[in-house]
Amino acid sequence: MSQVTTIDDQSFEEVRTAPGPVLLDFYADWCGPCRALAPALERFADSHPDVDVRKINVDENPRIAQEFGVRGIPTLVVLENGRETGRRIGGAGEAEIEKLVEHA
């Protein structure tokens, strides 16, 4: 069962104040690379229950995307205690996602 949760502008505040690591996936439904990233992101979430993995649709929630300066998708952003500690733009496999979170 996947640990990935989709959030919106209104529910983002709970993520901003989360105490542990949070991995944000900025995506769009029409984006091919975003769809290709999804299975690796789900596997990562399933094998790392200590990381809060959230998806944000940039078309439906532009405020958060603008706040984080997202210019291309997919974009992965790691937050620790509400502060950005890592970022990756473009596709990634599970190993790259793991490196991003571990080195953030």
Active site residues: 31, 34
Strand partners, 77: 24, 87
User: Where does the chain have alpha helices with state H?
Assistant: 12-16, 32-47, 62-67, 94-102
Which positions ≥6 away from 104 have C-beta within 8 Å?
A: 21, 78, 80, 85, 86
What DSSP character marks residue 24?
Answer: E
